[in-house]
Structures are given as structure tokens and as C-alpha cells.
């Protein structure tokens, strides 16, 4: 299965992707994780991305696409993949289609996790305490939700137009949501 997982910050993409990785036996590719690893390693790319990520804005399309091309160069994606955190805008959605078209590994399903805004805010506040992520402070959270509405939400329509979109309610227990996603993939 080659899928992208869509949803607002706090919608549970990371949690579900980790479980789907086990169920589907395919790699989980998170652009946020790749970027956080680059920041932690202090690479030139990480140094460039750090402040932008902390502010809650998007890192440049060029940087993220370069990182993704490198990741998609690895052989393990032949079995499929769960892409989490990408695409974040329409230009990225088109770039991804270009890249995967060249690799002859097009996206089969785009799963949108639908979660109410109050739930997102509650989950992000909880995560800020539990994980201490630099971009889970109140100002960055606000910015990330605005960026999501303005730039990322249009990506849902993009996949609807391509006939690959499925929408899944992202509220309930982790297991209930996982079962819904697996059912939607069938």
C-alpha cells in the first residue's frame, strides 16, 4: 500500500502512522521526523530549518522535496509507504506526483483524518507537556493551525479530484481510528 496520511497538527497522524506501519509492513516516512533528525544532527539543512520549524511556519518546498527524494531513493519503498506530513501545500502535492510518477510508484490512497478544532487544541496542549516539542508552544501551535487551514487544507480537494481520497473520523480511541483507516484502505 502506498498512502499519504493527511490531517491537521494534532489529528493523530504520527500515532496512526506508527500503528499502520506494523499492520501494513511498510515504512513510515514523516517529513517532520526527517527534519527533526536533521536539526538534532546539526546538518546544514537542519540549521536552516530549525528556526522556521520552531515558529510553526513551513520549511521551503525545495528543502523538503530534496530530503524526500533522498528517502524515496531507498529500496524499502518498493513494498509501499505511509507518507506523513507531506504534502503540506498544492505545489508539494504536484511535486510528489511528479516524483512518484517517475518512480512508477503512484499514491494509491490519501487518508484524511477529520478532527474538530477543540480536540486538536486539547491534544497539542497534552503533547506539549508529554514530549516537549519546540513547536508545541501556544504561539507556534496557533501558527501551525493557520498554515494548515490556508495552505494544507486545499490538498484534500486535490486528492478528491484525483479519486484517491478517503475521509476518516479521527476521534475516538486509537484502536477505533486504526480500524476505520484499515477498513477505508480495503
For the annotated catalytic residues, the residue numbers are: 13, 88, 127, 133, 144
How many C-beta atoms lie closer than 10 Å to residue 93's C-beta? 23
Which member of 2, 50, 71, 88 binds ligand AMP (CB under 6 A)? 88
Residue 107 as a binder of ligand AMP (CB under 6 A): the answer is no
Q: Which stretch binds ligand AMP (CB under 6 A): 55-63, 71-79, 123-131, 178-186?
A: 55-63
Q: What are the φ and ψ backbone dihedral angles of 175, each rounded to 5 degrees? A: -70, -40
Residue 45 as a binder of ligand AMP (CB under 6 A): the answer is no
Distance between CA atoms of residues 137 and 125, nearest Å:
8
Residues in contact with ligand AMP, counted by CB under 6 A, come to a total of 16
C-beta separation of 6 from 18 below 8 A: no
Distance between CA atoms of residues 97 and 104, nearest Å:
10
Which member of 7, 12, 85, 170 binds ligand AMP (CB under 6 A)? 85
**Number of alpha carbons in the 13 Å side-chain half-sphere of residue 83:** 26
Q: Which stretch binds ligand AMP (CB under 6 A): 19-27, 53-61, 114-122, 175-183?
A: 53-61
Q: Which residue is nearest to ligand AMP (CB)?
A: 32
Q: Which stretch binds ligand AMP (CB under 6 A): 15-23, 56-64, 116-124, 164-172?
A: 56-64
Residue 52 as a binder of ligand AMP (CB under 6 A): the answer is yes
Per-residue burial over 148-181, b = 16 or more CB atoms within 10 Å of its CB, e = otherwise: beebbeebbebbeeeebbbbbebeeeeeebbebb
Q: What are the φ and ψ backbone dihedral angles of 30, each rounded to 5 degrees? A: -115, 120
Report the interface residues with ligand AMP, using CB under 6 A.
9, 31-32, 35, 52-53, 56, 58-59, 64, 85-86, 88, 92, 135, 144
Amino acid at each position: 500500500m502506498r498512502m499519504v496520511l493527511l490531517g491537521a497538527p494534532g489529528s493523530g497522524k504520527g500515532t496512526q502512522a506508527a500503528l499502520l506501519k506494523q499492520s501494513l509492513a511498510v515504512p513510515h516516512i514523516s517529513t517532520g521526523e526527517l527534519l527533526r533528525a536533521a536539526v538534532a544532527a546539526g546538518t546544514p539543512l537542519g540549521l536552516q530549518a530549525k528556526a522556521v520549524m520552531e515558529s510553526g511556519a513551513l520549511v521551503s518546498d525545495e528543502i523538503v522535496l530534496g530530503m524526500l527524494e533522498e528517502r524515496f531513493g531507498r529500496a524499502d519503498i518498493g513494498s509501499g509507504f505511509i507518507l506523513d506530513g507531506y504534502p503540506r501545500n498544492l505545489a508539494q502535492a504536484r511535486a510528489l506526483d511528479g516524483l512518484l510518477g517517475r518512480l512508477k510508484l503512484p499514491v494509491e490512497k490519501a487518508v484524511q483524518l477529520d478532527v474538530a478544532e477543540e480536540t486538536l487544541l486539547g491534544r497539542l496542549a497534552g503533547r506539549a507537556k508529554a514530549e516537549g516539542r519546540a513547536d508545541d508552544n501556544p504561539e507556534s501551535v496557533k501558527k501551525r493551525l493557520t498554515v494548515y487551514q490556508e495552505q494544507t487544507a486545499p490538498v484534500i480537494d486535490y486528492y478528491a479530484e484525483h479519486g484517491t481520497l478517503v475521509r476518516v473520523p479521527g476521534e475516538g480511541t486509537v484502536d477505533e481510528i486504526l480500524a476505520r483507516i484499515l477498513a477505508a484502505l480495503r
